Structure 1
Amino acid sequence: MLPALLVGTVLGGLPAPLLAQRSGAAPVPAPTAPAATPAPTGAAAIRGTIKQVNVAGSQRLEADTVRSYVKLRAGEEYSAEMLDQALKDLYATELFADVQVRDENGVITLQVRENPIINRVVLEGNKRLKSEKINPEIKLAPRQIFTRSKVRADINRIIELYRRQGRFAATIEPKMVNLDQNRVDIIFEIHEGDKSKVRKINIIGNEKFSDGRLRGEMATKQSGITKIFSSGTSYDPDRLAYDQQKMRQFYLTNGYADFRVVSAIAELTPDKKDFIITYVVEEGERYKFGEVDLTSDIRDIKAADFKYMLPMKKGDWYNAKMVEDTVDSITEATGLFGFTPDVSPDFQRDKDERTMSVTFKIADSPRVYVERVDINGNTHTKDKVVRREFRLSEGDAFNSFKVKRSRDRINSLGFFQEKFEVEQKPGSQPDRVILEANVEEKSTGELQVSAGYSSLEKFIVDLSIRERNFMGKGQEVRASVSYSTYSKSIELGFTEPYLFDRNIAVGFDVFRRDYNSFNFAGNSRQTTYEQTTTGFQLRAGVPLTEFVTLAMRYGLSYDEVSLDQSTFFSGGRCDPLLAGRYLCDALGNRLISSVGYSLVFDNLNNRVRPTRGNRVVFGQDFAGLGGDVRYIRTTFNAAKYWGLGSGFVFSTSLEGGYIKGLGQSIRLTDRFYLGNPDMRGFGIRGVGPRVRRFPYDVSNPNAPVLLTDRQSYTDDALGGTAYYKARAELEIPLGNGARELGLRPSIFMDVGAVFGIKDPTTTDGCNSPPNTPTNCNLIQRARTDGNGNQLYYSRDPNDLVSTDPLTISSTPSAFAVIDQLPVYKEQFFGDSAKPRVAVGIGVNWNSPFGPFRIDIAKALLKEPGDRAKTFNFNVGTQF
């Protein structure tokens, strides 16, 4: 009976029965109970001497191998207990599906049936968890021996994987298909079930803060219609511990130094669909800061020099987060002077007065040196690309500030996974440390063909190829072609960040850009001048300090600015009555040779998506090193980022510029312009100086009518010689689900202006000279050819000929060609330094159709002539 009970126990342990899956496949036979043996007359009654030990039924295993698993040997005495133990020993090997031990007068026969060989392992029904994730976690594999214990272990492991995804209702039904030659297919039928949501979060014991306020601090959220995009509604045991820490941190930040979580229980509902989480907390009393002091045990660090870094004052509510930040600030500040002190807060709690006094102690710690720097995980990127970003080398004294700076510089490369950290490991001696960079590379090559629609550029097609880590050397190579209704460009560029392995960056750009400027007649956009620029730029950058870089550049370009002659020319020349004096002055071809520099201060924690730090750029460009254009242009740009916690990022920026002509006026194409997308809430080039041209209706010359409706006049931006712009923006985090979709909303305020040009010469066809009926007639002007010769109609009305005056003008058959030009009134607007202000909301979305940006802004302050625009979007698609 004992072997039968053992077999029943093994089978009863399976989570689901092993059944045949398809027709013709037999179920796994249960092990046959061994032949009964007579009960011994004593506790260890001897039956006799073993004459022989035979093995029957083995196929793959040798008989001697089977005999080696038992303690029965020929010539030795044996008992019924020894036979029972032999049965147990054979089953313990998990090599046999059935075992019998027969005794025939001392001839012992071990009758076995071997477990089958696994042909393959099949997963069915797994949609949410791919086979590539499950297979490495299970023990069963082809060509292994099938055992029920491995099946049970694999089922438990797969269920654990699903529970980590929040699917606690997942079930596994194992099935076995018998094949020839004692082989089987193992099939796991997986029923994944829905994610187990958190139905309710109960908090017991909180009196100072509401349940809703505390739930807002947690990563786990209650399921509901407002959380349909959040992945935080699924239950995760690890997140439960994290939430307790977040709740504790919240209370400590608000002064409750005695707060503790008494218990945290997660209960699964009977239907296994939802969890109910219950926290029991003790809030305790609220504390204030008592005495706050700073001491130093290091001779060269004077405590008085760093006391200004203590933000808390006696009587303020206690804030544990402020204490932690102060420790980090003091450690970082002393690190700038080459020290690596041990900064720790010493608390003195007064429960009667409910005060918490803090003394920050700067203790002298033993000097630790960097034993070595290890780079792991980089298969494409060369070691030196990562190593040269380290601010510490082998043999240097350890400095925590430089370690953080190294982390930020490596993150700014954009070659590796986000949230990269430099790990510190003990070295071979107590005063040695190993810095280890375990990087995980991500794709740095980009090949993009995109098409889309912009509310500004209409249809857009872009083709670009870019490699930011060319050949693993950190070099950047790029080429791009862009085409839209109003602009075309082709650009090639190369950047070497470390020339000859020295910290000197060099690069060049070659480009050709065709740009069609435009104005608006009503809501219709129409081209005014065309600008074609062909040229190149050479660049170099040299670091002056850890955070300050000097960048230098030289550019040479050829500008061609032209107007449509059929629209804006008369007599072979640009006609101010048709184009306006400001456009006529911009015409021509010019060679621009310029040299410039920029001083850059940058301590951002990440240049791709910064959340902390500053960036300040001051630059000047001088045009006149040869060429036809002479000016000096000065620009300034500063930005600051704050990580406010919980995913909030607040940023501000201020920029401005001024351009001054050197012996010549600043032409239209060299001025500053401001508007969308730089200044949201306004149209493109919608801020600053502009000229509007209003036509007259002169159908009745005695009563001309100025047409001022938006559909009649044109609107041209003139730009300015000076500008400023400021921005404040708060990026708002969403739930994990929305973040996974790539949604990043923000609220913003933009302030700016562009100004600083002389009033252009304007015309009024009816008021200069003083208005008379004839002044408002259509203007008549004789047409000439490109050489200024008068054009005439010959005898053939369709044939125009040009000749010197009076040669055929008196001939009755020849008539001078006369054009009739419309009469305009021009008005100049917007040359004011008064700030324009706009506020709004925006959303960046990395959609399946490509990058999508939408802004909704309201212009609160504007000047006459400014063009406001509330809604703007850009979308493209990749294919």
Structure 2
Amino acid sequence: MILNQVKAKRRNIAGLLVGTFLSGVVVPAGASAQELRVDEPANLLTDPAAREGTIVTLDVTGAERIERETVIAYSGLNPGDTYDASRLDQALRALYDTELFANVVITGADTGNLVIEIQENPVVNRIVLEGNKKLKNDEIEPEIRLAPRQIFTRSKVRADVDRIIELYKREGRFAAVVEPKIVTLDQNRVDLIFEITEGSKSKIRSINIIGNEQFSDGKLIKEMFSREAGGFLGFLKSNTAYDPDRIAADQQALRAFYLTQGYADFRVISAQAELTPDREDFVITFVVEEGPRFKFGQVSADSALRDFDEEAMMSLVGIEEGEWFDAERVEDVVTGLNETAGFIGYAFADIQPSYNRNGDDQTIDITFATNEAQRVYIDRIDINGNTVTRDAVIRREFRLFEGDAFNAAQIRRSEDRIKSLGFFQEELAIEQVPLGDDRVALALDVEERPTGQISFSAGYSSLENFLLAASISQNNFMGKAQQLSAGVNWSRYSQSVQVGFAEPYFLGRPILLGVDLYRRDFNSFNFVGNDRRTTYSQVSTGGGVRIGFPVTEYISAGARYRLVLDEIDLDRDTFFSDFDDSGSLDDDECDPLKAGTYLCGELGNRITSSIGYSLAFDNTNGIRATRGLRASISQDFAGLGGDVKYLRSVAAATQYVGLPADFIFSLNLQAGYIMPLEESEIVGRDEIRITDRFFGPNFRGFDIRGIGPRVERLAYDLEGNVIEDSSRVSNSLGGKAFYFGRAEVEIPVSAGVRNFGLRPSVYVDIGSVWDLTSPVTDDILFFCSPIDADGGLDPQIVRPDDGFASCDDIATGYLQTPGYREVFVGNSPSPRLSVGIGVNWVSPFGPLRLDLAHALLTQDGDETQLFSFNVGTQF
């Protein structure tokens, strides 16, 4: 009804000739105004004196572009023919039907000397669009059939108006109005102007459901695709624009829902969309009939397959008589039965349910029946679309080969393994092409995507001055699935470089062999007042080799060896003293009073020589998994030579579960412990050095190294009071144990948002880092420095013994200066907890991850962070 009203209005659109007010339109001298109507031509009129007679002569006037003979031929009149009023009217209609003429009149009917007076339709000079903002010219112009140098006709203009309005309807703008106007030019030419009033996007103001008794309107609307506009946070809603196709899909969604609830006779009687009086929005009304509720009756099977009999089929059905009828369960059973038939080689088995409705007791009997089918074998495997990746890289991921019996499970596993390469599109499927009764070809069409990643960043901060970072990696080097990576980071206080290479099929066998080399130079720091002060420097130079191989289809194993030289040092001018506690001259030594007790024990060069292994299980369906489990356990033993001895153990697992409505749930758990294999020689020093400890995974809501044991140094005055305006110095120390858990739900988005590359999620993180021996041994509240003979301060620093109230208790001639107190915090297994939202965005700048997280549970010393992001680009 509403659409008919819109069409009626459109048929009544008329445009009057506009003069020179239209921008860019010049009307030459002598141009005349002409009304442009896009409805039907005026009533056809002949000479009032028309009567029956014979055509004596026949002439044409007004022809400019069209030949006289052409006009006569179109009219169907010839000298010598008899004529009457109906014959002349027929000739006029024939001439108008050519759409070559704006006006036609036949005179001379009283004498038989007929004259056809014509006015030719003008030629289109140009076509102009005005008023369109939401749709650009290049979107509208393909819908316009009229073109410059074509004959102008009303019917063509009317058709073009219809197409433009239909284009706006597809964009949800049902209030759009298109008015065609012309400007006449010399030589019988016109400019055609389409004046467009786009209007606002038509929303769904309300959805009404009539006839529903068992379920509320709100419950049913949640099952639909369409949504009502407005309400709290209405601007975040999707599918609020009116779309006739979506309304049709809503009817199917309602029926599908009722069929899952046992209402087998449910039907949508009507679905009407009415435009509101202001022509801005739509009101949608569904009239439904629920019908009675049915239960499952007798459930049976009928098999024509030798290796998949009725008993085997019924063992997989799982539907009991007397349960409420559920069409979705029936579909799931059919899918499972067909997959099982495919697993044992029946690629073309077609198992379908047949229904028998019992109206008396409102039950539905179901029989799952299969037709006869032969075992099928793989004839060939065709791969298309790979221009970079070599065929061998893809074929070695297939679990089926030419000549093997068809197996649906192995085909699905092949799809998962190819997706896991990360080289191709996510929606990848192996097609089955029948070649006969017992042969099938497997066809795979791939669409390659970037497998390399390059990132570059530069910046400036008051802490680091200039910062530069660049990295490059290629996971499909030379199309052989080889992994090559290199990276460099540089700033005033930290520099690093690393390179790596891995061959996944060493010597043509499924054995991964990798080599990694790196050098990292890092300067830690803290603040004294507003001045940054470097604390310790750490230089790590090392490398390793690794090997991996499959154990079973889902389990793989690996081994590795690593050799690293760590050099930790402090600035001697700042943190070293030349006198011992008694004041006698000594070699340069780290002074705990200056550096902090936790640092002095870390100084020196140490070599780590470690060997390790790992076991991994992975049955997920690709890199961006939606189902399956990834789990791993690894251990590293340090002590195969070198200076340190420990056993590091780490376990991790992630389970992916596909939820209804395309939500994806994932649960990640991690835990680790590093056990020292020798005791520390110094009391108060932990057996595991700072470079080998755990600092925790990426814990959103907390800063990098923001949780776990740390030392805070507080400045005190001479009276032993904390100096409030001094900067608190805090250094993360890491721990020997950690655990971490994350529950995350990826939120489905509309096709447009998904095509934009956005994948939002919500998550909860929980974890902790702990188990470290406290490095704090003394509370230093003041320093005592001897004064030399000239009255100056001697650079000696004497540590006061316990119980000293002042430097006067030691000896005369000592100057007492403010000191500090070190506090050991954060060494607790108590959980830290955060919640947040994040989004993965495949941006024009590369893959970008944005997170906004709030820490709910913290411990003393933790450092929180509300927002974080990282970015790179692919090639």
> TM-score normalised by the shorter chain: which range applies?
0.7 to 0.9
Deviation sequence 1:409-428 (CA, Å, 0-9, x none): 5665666666x364858767
The 1:453/1:800 distance shift into structure 2, 3 A limit, reads: closer
Q: CA deviation at 1:836?
A: 1.7
| Selected match of 1:873 from 855, 867, 873 | 867
Q: Deviations over 1:400-439 (max 9, x none)?
A: 5455556555665666666x36485876767777777677
Question: Which residue number corresponds to residue 811 of structure 1?
Answer: none
Q: 1:328 aligns with which of 329, 335, 357?
A: 335
Map of 1:260 onto structure 2: 267
Q: What is the one-letter code of the residue matched to 1:565?
A: R
> Deviation of residue 503 (structure 1)?
6.9
CA contact 1:292–1:314 (8 Å) conserved in 2: yes
Structure 1 residue 276: deviation in Å? 0.8
Using the alignment, how far apart are the partners of 1:198 and 1:455 within structure 2?
A: 53
Q: 2:97 aligns with which of 84, 92, 99?
A: 92
Question: 1:273 is matched with which residue: 257, 270, 280?
Answer: 280
SS at match of 2:239: helix
Q: Could you tell me how far 1:206 is from its partner in structure 2?
A: 1.5
Post-superposition shift, 1:233?
Answer: 1.6
Specify whether residues 112 and 380 from structure 1 end up closer, same or farther in structure 2 by C-alpha distance, changes over 3 A only: farther
Give the structure 2 partner of residue 858 of structure 1. Answer: 856
Aligned-partner residue type, residue 719 of structure 1: G
**Which residue, 827, 837, 844 being the options, matches 1:842?**
837
Q: Give the structure 2 partner of residue 763 of structure 1.
A: 777
SS class of match (1:618): strand
Work out whether 1:529 is the aligned partner of 2:536.
yes
User: If the length of structure 1 is used for normalisation, what is the TM-score?
Assistant: 0.74
Equivalents in 1 of 2:216, 2:530: separation in Å?
53
Offset of residue 77 of structure 1: 5.0
Choose the corresponding residue for 1:671, options 693, 716, 730.
693
**Displacement of 1:278 after TM fit?**
0.8
Corresponding position of 1:646: 661
Q: Aligned pair 1:657/2:657, yes or no?
A: no
The within-5 A match list for 1:180-199 is: 183-199=189-205
- How far, CA to CA, are the matches of 1:64 and 1:367 in structure 2? 74
Matched residue, 1:241: 248
Q: For each residue in 1:275-332, what CA deviation from the matched residue of structure 2 results, as whole angstroms up to 9, or x when unmatched?
A: 1111112223444555666675533346666767556555554443333334434444
Assess, with a 3 A threshold, how the Cα gap between structure 1 residues 386 and 89 changes in structure 2: closer, same or farther: farther
Look up the equivalent residue of 1:650 and give its one-letter code.
F
Residue 799 of structure 1 and its aligned partner are, at CA, apart by: 12
User: What is the CA–CA distance in structure 1 between the aligned matches of 2:60 and 2:610, rounded to whole Å?
Assistant: 100
Matching residue's letter, 2:654: A
* Whole-angstrom CA distance in 2 between matches of 1:139 and 1:394: 53
Q: Judging changes above 3 Å, is the alpha-carbon distance between structure 1 residues 632 and 681 closer, same or farther for their aligned structure 2 residues?
A: same
User: Which amino acid is 1:685 matched to?
Assistant: R
Q: Which runs of 5+ in 2 are unaligned?
A: 1-8, 579-587, 680-686, 797-812
From the superposition, tell whether residues 282 and 512 of structure 1 become closer, same or farther in structure 2 (CA, over 3 Å). farther
Separation (CA, whole Å) in 2 of partners of 1:167 and 1:859: 49
SS in 1 for 2:161: helix
**3-state SS of the aligned residue for 2:599?**
helix
Give the CA deviation at 1:515: 3.9
Which residue number in structure 1 is paired with residue 805 of structure 2? none
Which moves more between the two structures, 687-696 or 222-231?
Answer: 687-696
- Confirm or deny: 8 A CA contact 2:46 2:89 kept in the other structure: no
Using a 3 Å threshold, how does the CA distance of structure 1 residues 152 and 830 change in structure 2: closer, same or farther?
same
Aligned to 1:560: 567
- Given that 1:197 and 1:234 are in contact with CA atoms closer than 8 Å, whether structure 2 keeps it comes out as yes
Preserved contact between residue 764 and residue 823 of structure 1 (Cα < 8 Å) = no
1:146 CA displacement = 3.6
Q: Is 2:707–2:863's contact at 8 Å kept on the other side of the alignment?
A: no
Find the aligned partners of 1:396 and 1:562 in 2 and give their Cα distance: 63
2:350 pairs with 1:342: yes
Change (3 A) 1:387 1:12: same
Contact kept? 1:457, 1:484, Cα under 8 Å: yes
Q: CA deviation at 1:209?
A: 1.8
Name the CA distance, whole Å, in 2 between partners of 1:103 and 1:512.
105
- Does the aligned pair in 2 maintain the 1:794–1:800 contact within 8 Å? no
| Superposed displacement of residue 641, structure 1 | 1.6
Q: 1:465-614 alignment to 2 at 5 Å?
A: 489=496, 511-517=518-524, 528-534=535-541, 547-550=554-557, 558-571=565-578, 572-580=588-596, 582-590=598-606, 598-608=614-624, 610-614=625-629
Equivalent runs, 1:214-253 vs 2, <5 Å? 214-226=220-232, 227-253=234-260
**Structure-to-structure mapping, 1:376-395, within 5 angstroms:** none
Identify the match of residue 133 of structure 1 among 113, 117, 139: 139
Which residue of 2 is the match for residue 124 of structure 1?
130
* Partner Cα distance (1:844, 1:259) in 2: 40
Tell which deviates more after alignment, 120-129 or 270-279: 120-129
State the Cα distance separating 1:764 from its structure 2 match.
Answer: 2.5
- Structure 1 unpaired stretches of 5+: 1-10, 767-775, 783-792, 802-816
Q: Alignment identity in percent?
A: 48
d(CA) in 2 for partners of 1:524, 1:325: 67
| Residues in 2 aligned to 1:16 and 1:409: alpha-carbon distance in whole angstroms | 63
CA distance in 2, matches of 1:109, 1:496: 91
Partner amino acid, structure 1, of 2:244: P
User: In the alignment, which of 165, 169, 172 is matched to residue 159 of structure 1?
Assistant: 165
2:15 alignment partner, SS class: coil
Report if the CA contact (8 A) 2:614-2:635 is conserved: yes
Distance 1:146 1:827 in 2: 90
Residue by residue, what CA displacement relative to the aligned partner does 1:100-123 show, whole Å, maximum 9, x if unpaired? 667899998776665444444333
Distance 1:169 1:826 in 2: 72
Name the CA shift for 1:726/1:384 in 2 (closer, same or farther; >3 Å).
same
Q: Superposed, which structure 2 residues align to 1:18-29 within 5 Å?
A: 19-20=17-18, 21=22, 22-24=25-27, 26-27=32-33
User: SS of 1:646's equivalent?
Assistant: helix
Check whether the contact 2:766–2:831 (CA below 8 A) recurs between aligned residues. yes
Q: Is residue 2:181 matched to residue 1:175?
A: yes
Once the two structures are superposed, residues 644-691 of structure 1 have per-residue CA deviations (whole angstroms, 9 ceiling, x without a partner) of 22243322112223445567954221121227x42x565543544445
Structure 2 vs 1, CA of residues 823 and 270 (structure 1 numbering), >3 Å: closer, same or farther? closer
3-state secondary structure, aligned to 1:207:
coil
Question: What is the letter of the counterpart of residue 127 of structure 2?
Answer: V
**Distance across 2 between alignment mates of 1:344 and 1:218:** 28
Q: How far has the Cα of 1:167 moved from its partner?
A: 0.5
Question: What corresponds to 2:15 in structure 1?
Answer: 17
Asked if 1 retains the 8 angstrom alpha-carbon contact of 2:385 and 2:448, the reply is yes
Larger deviation: 441-450 or 195-204?
Answer: 441-450
Alpha-carbon distance in 1 for matches of 2:297, 2:505: 52
CA distance in 2, matches of 1:103, 1:373: 81
Query: Which residue pairs with 2:739 in the alignment?
Result: 724
Greater Cα shift, 275-284 or 383-392: 383-392
Go from structure 1 to structure 2 and tell me whether the alpha carbon gap of 1:384 and 1:164 turns closer, same or farther (over 3 Å shift): farther
**Matching residue's letter, 1:842:** I
Question: What displacement does 1:643 show?
Answer: 2.2
Q: How much does 1:88 deviate?
A: 4.2
Displacement after TM superposition at 1:763 (Å)? 1.7
User: SS of 2:213's equivalent?
Assistant: coil
1: CA distance, partners of 2:514 / 2:744: 33
C-alpha distance in 2, partners of 1:522/1:306?
A: 77
The Cα shift of 1:168 comes to 0.2
CA pair 169-444 structure 1, distance change in 2 beyond 3 A: farther
RMSD, aligned CA: 5.4
Structure 2 counterpart of 1:787: none
Q: Structure 1 pair 781/728, CA: closer, same or farther in 2 (3 Å)?
A: farther
Contact 1:746 1:842 in 2 (8 A): yes
Q: Deviation of residue 130 (structure 1)? A: 2.4
- Give deviations 1:467-494, integer Å, cap 9, x for gaps: 7777888777766555679765555667
Change (3 A) 1:383 1:838: same
Q: What is the rounded CA distance, in whole Å, between the counterparts of 2:745 and 2:711 in structure 1? A: 36
Classify 1:134/1:602 alpha carbon distance in 2 versus 1 (closer, same or farther; 3 Å): farther
Number of residue equivalences: 813
